[in-house]
Amino acid sequence: MSLGSKIAWDDTVLPFQLDRSDIRGRVVRLDGTLDKILAQHDYPPVIEALVAEAAILTALIGPAIKLRWKLSLQIRGDGPARLVATDYYAPETDGAPGRIRAYASFDGERLAGNGDPFAQIGRGYFAVLIDQGKGTTPYSGLTPIAGQSLADCAQTYFAQSEQLPTRFALSFRREADGWRAGGVMLQKMPGVPPRVAEDGEANGLLRPTDLLADEDELENWARANILLETVTEAELIGPAIQPTQLLVRLFHEEAPRVFDPVPVGFGCTCSATRVRESLSIYSRKDIAYMTTEAGVVTADCQFCGAHYEFDPETLGLKAQEAKGDDG
């Protein structure tokens, strides 16, 4: 493959539909974007793996939703990996990239350096938050941490909260020239009301197959899943195999149809103005507590590491009101 072809598919999400099976999906390649996300912090390998998997899921889920502003994933647990948080910002104009950012909080002393990354989360929840911007009410849905991976958690979320059978296949690895990552998302298109099976999981969580309305849907979904299980790491992460080639190899008998790809990139929305607004709710006493010995209030963005410094006299809504009262 030429360098031009490789660059053309890096950091893109390709929507597709399997007309024979009435299934829609996304193929993502997340290379330079994942590099930039992980370069913001010096994470241990097990935390890098969790952030990488969460970022790929975010890149697949975000463009699949009619999104005007932001979709977020939050994975919280009682293990050493306390929090993994991601944001996907919808493209501001046609053809503009969607923007992704991510970070993790963890207890390094409890972390199993060579252990299973997913096991570092422990018990907790997987949450999807959707904010369509000013004048709207944010949506949030969450399910317990379940399965053996974040992809399993996402599949459980869609079955439980959205009643949409969903399947993910993800892969990522660090190479000499940076990270390469990719994934495929399959989702049954909504239509016939779901038939919830009586033999649901013992823990009360729905399975994707519990939501399929008849035997034809069950057969179509099972066939697409069997085909997806044959995907290789080389096909998922490239660069020698293009997403269109992957779809033809996997699903040529399912009549795959592709749509315009969506570019994605690293992007953080933090700014001095936004940080100042977030500090406006604090009292003068709170601002004084935050003030350093150097006489400034500092703040660091957890996503991109940007550092901000402010004059404490210009911060805090109550502090400003008190200052005005003093004349």
* pLDDT for residue 7: 52
Predicted local distance difference test score (pLDDT) of residue 200: 45
Give the model's pLDDT for residue 313. Answer: 82
CA dist 104 and 174 (Å) reads: 18
Residue 323's pLDDT band, with cuts at 50, 70 and 90, is low
Per-residue model confidence (pLDDT) at position 321: 55
What number is the average pLDDT over the span 79-97?
93
pTM given for the model: 0.84
Average pLDDT, the chain: 86
Q: Is the pLDDT of residue 245 over 90?
A: yes
| Mean predicted confidence (pLDDT) in 199-228 | 73
Q: For 102, what's the count of Cα atoms within 13 Å in the CB-facing half-sphere?
A: 31
Q: What is the pLDDT of residue 304?
A: 78
The yes-or-no verdict on residue 17 having pLDDT over 70 is: yes
- Calculate the alpha carbon distances from 44 to 50, 108, 111, 171 in Å: 10, 9, 9, 18
CATH number of this structure's domain 3-266, picked from the four choices 3.20.20.30, 3.55.30.10, 3.40.50.300, 3.40.1160.10: 3.55.30.10
Paired tokens of 74: 């939050």
The mean pLDDT value for 279-287 works out to 80
Of the candidates 252, 213, 258, the one whose C-alpha atom is nearest the C-alpha of residue 230 is 252
- For residue 297, the cross-strand partners are 291, 310
Asked if the model's pLDDT at residue 60 lies above 70, the reply is yes
Element (H, E) at 223: helix 215-228
Say if residue 208's pLDDT is above 80. no
Q: What kind of fold does domain 272-325 have according to CATH?
A: CBS domain Like (3.90.1280)
Exposure string over 298-318, b if 16+ CB within 10 A, otherwise e: ebebbbbeeebebebeebbee
Q: What percent of the chain has pLDDT over 90?
A: 57
Least reliable range by pLDDT among 3-17, 95-109, 110-124? 3-17
Mean pLDDT of 249-258: 95
Q: Looking at 153-157, 202-206, 280-284, which range is the least confident one? A: 202-206
Rounded Cα–Cα distance for residues 194 and 186 (Å): 17
The ranges assigned to domains in the chain are 3-266, 272-325
Q: What is the pLDDT of residue 270?
A: 77
Q: Residue 211 and residue 63: Cα distance in Å, rounded?
A: 23
pLDDT band at 204 (very low <50, low <70, confident <90, very high): low
